[in-house]
Structure 1
Amino acid sequence: MAPRGPCRVRRRTSGYDVVMPIDVVNAGVLRVAFERHGPDGGWPVVLSHGFPYDPRSYDEVVGPLVEAGADVVVPYLRGYGPTRFRDAATPRSGQQAALAHDLLALIEALGLERPVVAGYDWGGRAACLVAALWPERVGGLVTVAGYNVQDIAGFSAPQPPEVERRLWYQYYLHGERGRAGLAEHRAAFARLLWSEWSPTWAFTDRQFEASAASFDNPDFVDVVVHSYRHRYGLVDGDPAYAATERLIAAQPRIEVPTVVLDPTEATLSSPRTTAEHERHFGRIVVHRRVDAGHNVPQEAPRDVAAAVLELGRPGR
């Protein structure tokens, strides 16, 4: 197991200074920055954030897991915070296969033995794909909104107008005006999405600002733009992930023990029945609806912590 690294001071949204354990590790094509909490030798958990958020989403999830003996790793995804590409020549891809390989490489680099992987949005996509493609490497999955795997072939079909309207930000990023707009107004862009996607979450300026610094990463714009173009087949992916993308195109079922959390107030997704989720998951342990918007870990942290504990608590 990798040793704990140096610490730095971060100001959390509750308004007091705490020391956050920040470390970095070479994992695949990245030098991944991550925060780690809990005892050496604890049962492992990896919590992955989405777009446009960062590890602050999990601040209130970590405590109950550490109290239950978990070794909790919360990484900054590619393009966020202190995470950097190791080689300037590596494509700044945001495709789903890249996110999956990033998570797998982190698990391997830290020597984590079959961790519970949890995530939402981009982080949920990475967690679902690692569970689907390399099930022997994970002990369980917590996924917000279910099967977070893109069906790129199916994206070519237009959606009903009310659905297309919600995806304005994706179409905006298909053009160079959108790229320039994101580069110039990345914080304002993210804040608007927070408000639209979680209409019942009264987040504070302090909460937003605690995450907004992560969007200043020099690769943020390139990674985000590539993500929202690749999923529509508008740009090529990184050739290094071509074989994995072919596997993903088959929409593989996930057979590891899974907890599905369906947010009831999110504008980008609607809750589904357990039977609908079972099309993609072979071992649903719990399917629960959560009164939250898109950023479920930050809006309903107790529900997310409880979901992880359903899968990972020793002696269960």
Structure 2
Amino acid sequence: MPNPDFRRTTVLTPTLAVACEERGPADGFPVVLLHGFPYDPRCFDGVAPRLARAGHRVIVPYLRGYGDTRFRSADTPRSGQQAALARDLVDLLDALAIPQAALMGFDWGGRAACIVAALWPERVRCLVTGDDYNVQDIAASGRPSAPEDERRLWYQYYFHAERGRAGLAADRLGFCRLLWRLWSPTWAAGPGLFDATAPSFDNPDFVDVVIHSYRHRFGLVAGDPALDDIERRIALQPPIAVPTVSLCGADDGVGPAEADDPDADRFTGPYRRHVLAGVGHAIPAEAPDTVADALLDLLRA
């Protein structure tokens, strides 16, 4: 694990006190790196230093429910819905007075990045997304998939029941460690790096946010009413027009990449897609140079 050379900051938004790690010059063009479930900023330890050395201001927030990020009010719903993640990102950019940034995200972070690129394209110079058009189509969530695809989503169905909530609350570390192993089966370094990430799951809102996320995406629970307008806009499945590179893991244990791009028509601007051999779900941790190269190439274009 690289030695930490980042600055720890806390950014106040209307909803959150967002814990962030920052690298690079304060006046560099900003790049925001967004982790997923169940990960944290440690998955960018091989990416962020390269971007900082290239002169960029690199901001890596802990998402809601992770690390030292906290809700500012006890009355705010502990939502994990996709609109909340996108709103959090826009609020973070606003609080930092950043009019435009480059974005990279995967899993939950990729969902936030894709939605902001689609709905607020003026805020996004370019995008590197993990696994294509990473936006949930909740209206279609009840359609069954192929049996093998359904098997990979067992954890989501588990979370739909109170047994799943209880299981995650009782052993969040054991549960998340299992997902790391299943989702990145060829990532030899993964098990040894888990302990550096695990403290982020001790956040008091982690269980509530995770459970809500995996229930809302199937339309099983209501979202935060304050986010209804964003959800209505997302439901239209808007295209992404900003310059984009999609990186997909060929060995992803939860959603292995298809050889043919299923989402090419979702991207209406400059767009490239790469399937990465020997890479699982934790794309920036497993292929940091590929992620950094993609961002730097887009930023130089």
TM-score range, shorter chain: over 0.9
Aligned length in residues:
300
RMSD of aligned residue pairs (Cα, Å): 1.4
Does structure 1 conserve the Cα–Cα contact (< 8 Å) formed by 2:152 and 2:255?
Answer: no
Q: Which amino acid aligns with 1:299?
A: E
Partner of 1:260: 246
Report the CA distance between 1:239 and its aligned residue. 0.2
So what's the TM-score if we normalise by structure 2? Answer: 0.96
Bigger shift: residues 253-262 or 220-229:
253-262
So what's the TM-score if we normalise by structure 1? Answer: 0.92
Alignment map for 1:1-316 (pairs within 5 Å): 13-14=1-2, 18-203=4-189, 205-272=191-258, 276-291=262-277, 292-313=279-300, 316=301
Report the CA distance between 1:274 and its aligned residue. 6.8
Q: Which amino acid aligns with 1:297?
A: P
Report the CA distance between 1:36 and its aligned residue. 0.3
Q: Which amino acid aligns with 1:249?
A: A
Q: Which amino acid aligns with 2:201?
A: F
Using a 3 Å threshold, how does the CA distance of structure 1 residues 117 and 80 change in structure 2: closer, same or farther?
same
Q: Which amino acid aligns with 2:89?
A: L
Q: Which amino acid aligns with 1:306?
A: D
Does structure 2 conserve the Cα–Cα contact (< 8 Å) formed by 1:174 and 1:228?
Answer: yes
Q: Tell me, which stretches of 5 or more residues in structure 2 are unaligned?
A: none
Q: Which amino acid aligns with 2:51?
A: L
User: C-alpha distance in 2, partners of 1:256/1:18?
Assistant: 32
Report the CA distance between 1:206 and its aligned residue. 4.2
- Write out per-residue CA displacement over residues 233-288 of structure 1, whole angstroms, 9 at most, x where no aligned residue: 11000000001101111100001111111211102223346764321001234322
Q: Which amino acid aligns with 1:52?
A: P
User: C-alpha distance in 1, partners of 2:263/2:158?
Assistant: 30
Q: Which amino acid aligns with 2:204?
A: P
User: C-alpha distance in 2, partners of 1:270/1:18?
Assistant: 32
Does structure 2 conserve the Cα–Cα contact (< 8 Å) formed by 1:274 and 1:287?
Answer: no
User: C-alpha distance in 2, partners of 1:101/1:45?
Assistant: 17
Q: Tell me, which stretches of 5 or more residues in structure 1 are unaligned?
A: 1-12
**Identity fraction in percent:** 56
Q: Which amino acid aligns with 1:298?
A: A
User: C-alpha distance in 2, partners of 1:288/1:278?
Assistant: 12
Does structure 1 conserve the Cα–Cα contact (< 8 Å) formed by 2:251 and 2:281?
Answer: yes
Report the CA distance between 1:74 and its aligned residue. 0.2
User: C-alpha distance in 2, partners of 1:34/1:110?
Assistant: 11
Report the CA distance between 1:113 and its aligned residue. 3.0
User: C-alpha distance in 2, partners of 1:142/1:91?
Assistant: 30
User: C-alpha distance in 2, partners of 1:238/1:294?
Assistant: 28
Partner of 1:5: none
Q: Which amino acid aligns with 2:237?
A: Q
User: C-alpha distance in 1, partners of 2:104/2:78?
Assistant: 24
Does structure 1 conserve the Cα–Cα contact (< 8 Å) formed by 2:180 and 2:191?
Answer: no
Does structure 1 conserve the Cα–Cα contact (< 8 Å) formed by 2:181 and 2:190?
Answer: no
- Write out per-residue CA displacement over residues 102-141 of structure 1, whole angstroms, 9 at most, x where no aligned residue: 0010111111231101100000000000000000111111
- Write out per-residue CA displacement over residues 9-52 of structure 1, whole angstroms, 9 at most, x where no aligned residue: xxxx35xx545421101123111000000012101100000000
